[in-house]
């Protein structure tokens, strides 16, 4: 079998057989396919809250995650409202000044299977929380709320949760900011 000299691409000038060259091409094609698959994870986040709240009305925030990709995904629920308020996952401001988070802070071990939620392509999941459980939002004023955390692990396709702490793949979803006014 003949050799193909590829000295301009490989400075060593090492000859490659056609079989070796095809193996390299196929390997690169498979690798680019795997990378494209990883990039196909598209998680969207949406926040909603009433625009105006009376003095005693709860500040209920609706948090929605949508799988906008083509594969089933498993999302680790840490620092999302799907596990409740366990960390400062939102930045809350009143009249342009950040409101201090006063909720719990967890120290975590490795994730468990039940810490993940599964979203099929196009599926949306919603959860409602009361911001007053962790932020002081009872004073009159103009408030803004932004999801400031990231998703600690998102697994696309056939891979199975959980992964080890050193294997987690973070995703920062695109998420809107919401505003409301607390009346007197």
- pLDDT score, position 160: 87
Question: pLDDT digit string (tens) for 164-173?
Answer: 999 999 999 9
**Which CATH number is 42-182's, of 3.30.70.2190, 1.10.8.60, 1.10.150.20, 2.60.40.2970?**
2.60.40.2970
Q: What is the mean pLDDT of residues 96-119?
A: 95
3-state secondary structure of 144: strand
> Mind listing the pLDDT tens digit for each residue in 23-54?
455 554 444 444 444 446 899 999 999 999 99
Q: Residue 158 — very low, low, confident or very high, per pLDDT cuts 50/70/90?
A: confident
Cα–Cα–Cα angle for 140, 55, 176, nearest 5°?
Answer: 65
> pLDDT band at 89, cuts 50/70/90?
very high
Least Cα distance to 99 among 139, 55, 61 occurs for 139
Q: How far apart are CA 27 and CA 33, in angstroms?
A: 10
Q: Residue 2's pLDDT band (boundaries 50, 70, 90)?
A: low
Q: Where are the domains of the chain?
A: 3-36, 42-182
């Amino acid at each position: 079998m003949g050799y193909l000299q590829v000295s301009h691409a490989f400075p060593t000038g090492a000859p490659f057989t056609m079989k070796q060259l095809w193996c390299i091409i196929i390997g690169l094609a498979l690798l680019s396919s795997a990378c494209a698959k990883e990039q196909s994870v598209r998680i969207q986040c949406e926040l909603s809250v009433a625009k105006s709240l009376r003095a005693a009305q709860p500040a209920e925030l609706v948090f929605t995650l949508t799988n906008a990709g083509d594969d089933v995904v498993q999302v680790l629920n840490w620092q999302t409202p799907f596990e409740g308020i366990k960390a400062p996952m939102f930045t809350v401001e009143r009249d342009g000044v950040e409101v201090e988070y006063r909720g719990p802070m967890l120290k975590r071990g490795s994730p468990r299977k039940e810490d993940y939620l599964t979203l099929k392509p196009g599926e949306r999941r919603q959860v409602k929380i009361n911001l007053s459980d962790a932020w002081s939002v009872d004073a009159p004023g103009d408030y803004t709320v932004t999801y400031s955390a990231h998703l600690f692990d998102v697994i696309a396709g056939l891979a199975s949760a959980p992964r080890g702490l050193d294997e987690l793949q973070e995703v920062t979803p695109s998420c809107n900011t919401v505003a409301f006014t607390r009346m007197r």
